Amino acid sequence: MEGVDHLADERNKAEFDVEEMKIVWAGSRHAFQVSNRISRLVANDPIFEKSKRAVMSRKELFKNTLKKSAHAWKMINELRLSDEESIRFRSFMDQPGFVDLHWGMFVPAIKGQGTEEQQQKWLPLANNMQIIGCYAQTELGHGSHVQGLETTATFDPQTDQFIIHSPTQTSSKWWPGGLGKVSTHAVVYARLITNGKDHGVHGFIVQLRSLDDHSPLPGITVGDIGMKFGNGAYNSMDNGFLKFDHFRIPRDQMLMRLSKVTREGKYVASDVPRQLVYGTMVFVRQSIVSNASNALSRAVCIATRYSAVRRQFASQNGGTETQVIDYKTQQNRLFPLLASAYAFRFVGEWLKWLYTDVTQRLEASDFATLPEAHACTAGLKSMTTSATADGIEECRKLCGGHGYLWCSGLPELFAVYVPACTYEGDNVVLQLQVARFLMKTVSQLGSGKAPAGTTEYMGRAQHLLKCRSSVKKAEDWLNPGMVLEAFEARALRMAVSCANNLSKFENQEQGFSELLADLVEAAIAHCQLIVVSKFIAKIEGEIKGKGVKNQLKNLCYIYALHLLHKHLGDFLSTDSVTPEQASLASHQLRSLYSQLRPNAVALVDAFNYTDHYLGSVLGRYDGNVYPKLFEEALKDPLNDSVVPDGYHEYIRPLIKQHIRSARL
Ligand SMILES: CC/C=C\C/C=C\C/C=C\C/C=C\C/C=C\C/C=C\CCC(=O)SCCNC(=O)CCNC(=O)[C@H](O)C(C)(C)COP(=O)(O)OP(=O)(O)OC[C@H]1O[C@@H](n2cnc3c(N)ncnc32)[C@H](O)[C@@H]1OP(=O)(O)O
Ligand SMILES: Cc1cc2nc3c(=O)[nH]c(=O)nc-3n(C[C@H](O)[C@H](O)[C@H](O)COP(=O)(O)OP(=O)(O)OC[C@H]3O[C@@H](n4cnc5c(N)ncnc54)[C@H](O)[C@@H]3O)c2cc1C
């Protein structure tokens, strides 16, 4: 029935102030107001309609992306939207495209690695979209191993230019988003060579296409790398290839904030760490963590609302059938994902703070916290994207058969999201960076240098290596100190065990390669500790609104205890908990699920997503699922006619043949 709220009973059960929770979720009242206004602006504009993406050809989809991006840019200018509003606008548009890389990587790369003069020259052009840029780092032969890139930028002192060249097929740039068909410019990463000496990988601003007719400049071969996973989905993005044939650029197009080449061809390295050339990746990894909570919360919102609508099997005494959300198995799969969405939100907020802090320190030439910022952004990017990709797929299964329909919104969400486990650093490669950082920290214990920040707990090694959890009853698992201690003990003991095993090898690098799998697990345990500790910090802060803090506490302990349950092997093998304490944790978890149950729909309403953004018949706000599933089915091109195209060629002859042979 149109206009009826099929989830009204669920909403009436809520034991907290949903409006206040919306503000907690958004981060502030201001952020809520911006998101609320901009999401509705996008939802109400027919240009941003997205329900036909799966049935569009690649060319139609790409052109539709161009149309949406141009319209968005027009609106952003006409309405004089601020940077914050524009970012929200693009996010609610929900269509991957070249603009993501232009604003997300090209502009930040110039800001982070360009000199003042370079910024003054290039940023106004980029900010007005008079040039469109991408981030061309990865090559056909190397992505993870950045130092292995083969493209060269050789300084020619005669002409005061760099010659950018792709010496091999594997040196072709391959993957950059926006490169294939749109970008006029790119920040290209290439090996800098002066006077025959290789100085490693540096960034260069390179024009690729004519600003008059968009044709590639002489010496540039560029195109799209082809279809990717899923219909619609990430195929709106023109990921590209790029080959240089001795292409020349002026010397002042090397990004020279960190190191420079003089007119004479002298390479001058500044005294800042060379890793700052990776700064754009650190920035993007940080934003990918917040984005994980967006993607996971969308999937969870769909699965929660649908689980409340969907009924299967009558209860034992007959009567109405059971809502599938009332099955404990459904709760055990769904509620930890709901809790994870909130957990990733809060750790994302904290990571943003950490990133801002390290940036300010770098401005003041304080590089002390750079390794930690790298480890946190790499590790949390890896951990949250893996959990989110798995979580979206779990939500699809939680929606049964209908979850597999494109109109559930889940297949496309998964197809768009899953490359986040690979781009901006393969998730295993990134956890190994965290492991290196942890091994270094452990090796320095006892050296007098106290670990700080997220490794501060390692400074309490004497206690944490010996302590026994004092949990005695299920309610003890609601004690933040006891929960934290279990997670700290597990993370530290796993890291120390790896360090001990490493020390048995004469060659550290060889030892590291042998122990890769254990090291990744230790890194994940450390990252999970960070997320749990930031969630606990959140619930210990000031939170307004009737019942809001209570709900967040439940979610926090569900998050922590489900991790404990999932990684029980780690907790038991490190003696961080006993089997009896683990069983008390499971008992507590079941009780928390029961407390969360009446609030589940309201907790996903607090995300404040429009039906447009969700893009899901199953996750509709009003829960009016079944008639809408029919409506969607009838829109499919196959239903344009009752007798399908091809009947006369392929179906009728078969049937007729069968009838003839049956008569024989
Ligand atoms: C359409 C969009 C839809 C959804 C988008 C979703 C979310 C996005 C939200 C917002 C983002 C906005 C825009 C972006 C949009 C979409 C994203 C799409 C595409 C992504 C684009 C890319 O993928 S760009 C390419 C990314 N490539 C990589 O990440 C490569 C990974 N490899 C590396 O980073 C490194 O090479 C390494 C980390 C593996 C290191 O290798 P190696 O050991 O060889 O390193 P070095 O010898 O160079 O250095 C060793 C020491 O340096 C330390 N180190 C390494 N990295 C850093 C760093 N970044 N900062 C500080 N320190 C660093 C390292 O730890 C070593 O230290 P030691 O002390 O041990 O010596
Ligand atoms: C959708 C999408 C968009 C992208 N956009 C861009 C872009 O805009 N610009 C850009 O420059 N790049 C882009 N990329 C490229 C992306 O950054 C790389 O693909 C990514 O960094 C992974 O590198 P790789 O492909 O070399 O993986 P590989 O390193 O080849 O990974 C293959 C396997 O090897 C394993 N492996 C590799 N090294 C190690 C190791 N040392 N120890 C243990 N295991 C290891 C990995 O875990 C993985 O299982 C994009 C990629 C995708 C999928």
Tens of pLDDT, residue by residue over 505-533, are 999 999 999 999 999 999 999 999 999 99
CA distances for 538 relative to 454, 542, 563, angstroms: 16, 8, 18
Q: Which two tokens mark 549?
A: 């803090």
- Residue 479 CB neighbour total at 10 angstroms: 13
Q: What is the pLDDT of residue 201?
A: 97
**Which ligand has the nearest atom to the CA of 90?**
1
Q: Indicate the average pLDDT of the chain.
A: 96
- Whether residue 388 has its Cβ less than 6 Å from ligand 1: no
DSSP string covering 189-244: EEEEEETTEEEEEEEEEEE-B-TTT-PBPTTEEEEE----STTTGGGGS--EEEEE
Q: What is the pLDDT of residue 260?
A: 96
Position in ligand 1 atom list of the atom nearest CA 146:
36
**Which mutation among 93, 100, 414 tests ligand 1's pocket best, with the greatest number of atoms within 8 A of CB?**
100
Predicted confidence (pLDDT) per residue in 347-357, tens digit: 999 999 999 99
Which residues make beta-bridge pairs with 260? 268
Q: Is 615 annotated as a binding residue?
A: no
State the CATH architecture for 133-270.
Beta Barrel (2.40)
User: 190 C-alpha vs ligand 2 centroid, how far in Å?
Assistant: 17
Closest residue to atom 9 of ligand 1, CA basis = 288
**Which ligand has the nearest atom to the CA of 290?**
1
**Which ligand has the nearest atom to the CA of 280?**
1
What is the pLDDT confidence band of residue 272, given thresholds at 50, 70 and 90? confident
Average pLDDT of span 645-657 = 94
SS3 623: coil
What is the pLDDT confidence band of residue 305, given thresholds at 50, 70 and 90? very high
User: 147 C-alpha vs ligand 2 centroid, how far in Å?
Assistant: 13
- List active site positions: 424
Closest residue to atom 29 of ligand 2, CA basis = 144
**Which mutation among 179, 236, 426, 513 tests ligand 2's pocket best, with the greatest number of atoms within 8 A of CB?**
426
Q: What is the pLDDT of residue 314?
A: 82
User: 77 C-alpha vs ligand 2 centroid, how far in Å?
Assistant: 36
Closest residue to atom 57 of ligand 1, CA basis = 275
Which H helix or E strand runs over 269?
strand 267-269
Q: What is the pLDDT of residue 380?
A: 98
- CATH code: domain 448-605 is 1.20.140.10
**Residue ranges lining ligand 2, Cβ < 6 Å:** 101, 135-138, 142-144, 175-177, 234, 239, 419, 422-426, 428-429, 432, 516
Q: What percent of the chain has pLDDT over 90?
A: 94
What is the pLDDT confidence band of residue 109, given thresholds at 50, 70 and 90? very high
Residue with tokens 């990921």: 239
Q: Are β-strands 185-194 and 133-136 bridged in parallel, bridged antiparallel, or unpaired?
A: parallel
User: 422 C-alpha vs ligand 2 centroid, how far in Å?
Assistant: 5
Closest residue to atom 21 of ligand 2, CA basis = 425
Q: Is 136 in contact with 173 (CB distance < 8 Å)? A: yes
Q: With left for phi above 0 and alpha for psi between -120 and 50, is residue 313 left, alpha or beta? A: left
Position in ligand 2 atom list of the atom nearest CA 428:
47
Q: Is 68 in contact with 48 (CB distance < 8 Å)? A: yes
User: 141 C-alpha vs ligand 1 centroid, how far in Å?
Assistant: 17
Where do the structural domains in the chain lie, given as residue ranges? 133-270, 448-605
Helices of type H across 399-515: 410-417, 427-443, 461-464, 480-503, 508-514
Average pLDDT of span 325-350 = 98
**Which ligand has the nearest atom to the CA of 374?**
1
Closest residue to atom 41 of ligand 2, CA basis = 429
User: 287 C-alpha vs ligand 1 centroid, how far in Å?
Assistant: 13
What is the pLDDT confidence band of residue 659, given thresholds at 50, 70 and 90? low
Position in ligand 2 atom list of the atom nearest CA 135:
9
Q: Is 576 in contact with 489 (CB distance < 8 Å)? A: yes
Q: What is the pLDDT of residue 2?
A: 66
What is the pLDDT confidence band of residue 136, given thresholds at 50, 70 and 90? very high
Average pLDDT of span 264-275 = 91
Q: Which of 94-108, 303-317, 542-556 has the lowest mean pLDDT?
A: 303-317
Helices of type H across 504-624: 508-514, 516-540, 548-566, 568-573, 579-596, 600-605, 611-614
Residue with tokens 């506490």: 553
What is the pLDDT confidence band of residue 274, given thresholds at 50, 70 and 90? confident
Closest residue to atom 25 of ligand 1, CA basis = 424
User: 280 C-alpha vs ligand 1 centroid, how far in Å?
Assistant: 8
- Whether residue 340 has its Cβ less than 6 Å from ligand 1: no
CA distances for 228 relative to 67, 177, 224, 410, 420, angstroms: 21, 12, 11, 17, 14
Distance, CA of 489 to CA of 578 (rounded, Å): 13
Distance, CA of 329 to CA of 651 (rounded, Å): 44
Distance, CA of 601 to CA of 8 (rounded, Å): 10
- What letter represents residue 514's amino acid? E
Q: Is 177 annotated as a binding residue?
A: yes
Predicted confidence (pLDDT) per residue in 635-647, tens digit: 999 999 999 999 9
Q: Which two tokens mark 119?
A: 């910024």
**Which mutation among 272, 278, 613 tests ligand 1's pocket best, with the greatest number of atoms within 8 A of CB?**
278
Residues in the chain: 664
Q: Could you tell me the pTM of the whole model?
A: 0.97
Predicted confidence (pLDDT) per residue in 423-467, tens digit: 999 999 999 999 999 999 999 998 888 999 999 999 999 999 999
Q: What is the pLDDT of residue 317?
A: 74
Is residue 661's pLDDT more than 80? Answer: no
Is residue 239's pLDDT more than 80? Answer: yes
What is the pLDDT confidence band of residue 138, given thresholds at 50, 70 and 90? very high
